[in-house]
Amino acid sequence: MRKQMLEDLLMLHGTNPQNWPADMRASMKTCLKSSPRFAADYAALARLEEELKSCLRAPAVPALAARIIAATPPLQHTYLPPQELGGQERGLLAACLAGALVIGAVIGYFIGGGTVDDSLSRLATAALYGGRALI
C-alpha cells in the first residue's frame, strides 16, 4: 500500500480500526506495522484526533439546562385572534385587513407605473367572468 493511499484512508476514516473499510483493514494494519515512519505518523494522528475529540466534548451541566427550561415562558399562539371577540369586533378586524390589502394594491399600481401586464389582465378577466377570457 502506498503512503498516500494510507494517509487518505486515515484522514477519511480516522485512526479507529473499526471505522476502516473491512477489505482494507488487514493491509492497513500490516502497512502500519511494517514501517516505523507510518507508525509514527499514525501515532501523531491518533494523538491529534484524541485532542480534537476532547475539545468537542462539552461538560454536562444538567442544572443549567433545568434552569433555562424553567425560565422559558410557555408558548402562546398569538397568530390567532382572541376568542372573546364579538361579531362587531371580528367585522372590524376583517375590514382593517381588507383595507390594508386595497391600500397595498393601490400603492403597487402607482409604483408600477399605472399599467397592468396583459397576461395578468387576461387572468383577472377570466377569473371574473367564469373562466372565459374576454380580451
Rounded Cα–Cα distance for residues 36 and 46 (Å) = 15
Mean pLDDT of the chain: 77
Neighbours of 24 (CB within 10 A): 15
Rounded Cα–Cα distance for residues 48 and 43 (Å) = 9
Has this prediction a pTM greater than 0.95? no
pLDDT at 8: 83
pLDDT at 78: 62
Which segments of the chain are extended strands (E)? none
Q: Which residues of the chain have pLDDT under 70?
A: 1, 57-60, 76-83, 85, 112-135
Looking up cell 375590514 gives: 95
